[in-house]
Amino acid sequence: MGVSSANVPIGGDLDLTDHFGNPVTIQTFRGRFVLLFFGFTHCRAVCPTILSTLSRALERLGSQADLVQPLYITVDPERDTPAVMKAFLEKSFPRFLGLSGSKDQIARAKADFKVFAQKQLDDTAPGGYVVPHTAFSYLLDPQGNYSQHFTNASSEDDIVDKLAARAIIRQY
């Protein structure tokens, strides 16, 4: 990517609820890499595309994918309750664990990862609005620290290569 986080802290503790209703923090996933994406379940284009790309990339990693916890954090906590996220993810993207929370909790998570999301009225959208958002996927190391990010322009091959190239995945 060419951008480091050494100069700008990216990431944080997280204080959210998973789609089974369990409270989670970044420590919950300690020991595994985390592949983290922000979105909302009513998203019609960006989320399905990227969740599909990430799912296929993880599939191609084979057993190494077990060392990676994919997370999907909502930017639309009003609609994306844990139950809604569970239904959405288990149907189409079963590798992902959905995380939701209160408006404040989501706002803190967004701020920690420098994520933009802005509610925008749209008569053609379900519920009458959409939430355009940052389409980055963040890779965190097993200690929960930011490692790198992928943009929506990153290809599946690129993601697979970058994940596989991390020897630590194999060694861990």
Partner 1 sequence: MDTLISRRQLIGGMAGTAALAVSAADSLGGLQGNNVNKAPFDISALPLLDQKQAGHLRHLRNISDQPSGIWDHMRGPFDHMGGGIGPALYKVVPHSYFAMALAYFNRLPAAPGVFRPLSDRLIAQMLDKEVWGYWRLMSTSSKEYDPDLKEDRQAWSDPVVKENIMYSGRLAVMLGLHSVLFNDDKFEKPDSVVLDWDVPFSGGPTQFKYSLDSLNDRIYWQLVESGYLGVACEPNCVFVVCNQYGLIGLRLRDIRRGTKVADESTASFKEAWERKGWVDANGHLVALYQPNQDFIVPLKSPLWDFYAGTYMSAWMPEFVRAHYPTWSKYAYRSGPNGTLSPWPAKLIPVVKAAVDNGTPLRSIEVRQVKLGDIADIGQMLAFVAEIGDTKARDGMLAHLDEFCNPTWEKGGLFYPRNDQDWDTDGNMVRMDPWTGTASAAHARLTTENGLWNIYNKPWGPLHFAQPALAEVDEEIDVLRAIFVPSRHALVLTMRTWHGNSMAAKMVISNAHQPGKRWKLYRDGDVVASGNDAAVLSTSLPKAQWDAGQLVFVAPVRSASTFVMQWA
Residues binding partner 1 (CB under 8 A)? 1-8, 10, 111, 114-118, 132-134, 136, 151, 153
Q: How far is the CB of 21 from partner 1 (least distance, A)?
A: 30
Q: How far is the CB of 70 from partner 1 (least distance, A)?
A: 21
Q: How far is the CB of 54 from partner 1 (least distance, A)?
A: 18
| Cβ pair 62, 49 in contact under 8 A | no
Q: Give the C-alpha separation, 118 to 108, whole Å.
A: 15
Q: How far is the CB of 41 from partner 1 (least distance, A)?
A: 20
| φ and ψ of 128, to 5 deg | 85, 5
Residue linked to tokens 């596989």: 164
- Cα Dmax for the chain: 50
Which amino acid, 108? Answer: R
Tokens of 82: 């844990």
Beta carbon nearer to partner 1, 52 or 151:
151
Beta carbon nearer to partner 1, 28 or 74:
74
Q: Give the C-alpha separation, 106 to 112, whole Å.
A: 10
| Cβ pair 18, 24 in contact under 8 A | yes
Tokens of 75: 């930017």
Instruction: List the one residue out of 91, 99, 75, 85 whose CA is nearest residue 22.
Output: 99
Q: How far is the CB of 98 from partner 1 (least distance, A)?
A: 22
Beta carbon nearer to partner 1, 7 or 171:
7
Beta carbon nearer to partner 1, 65 or 117:
117
Beta carbon nearer to partner 1, 62 or 128:
128
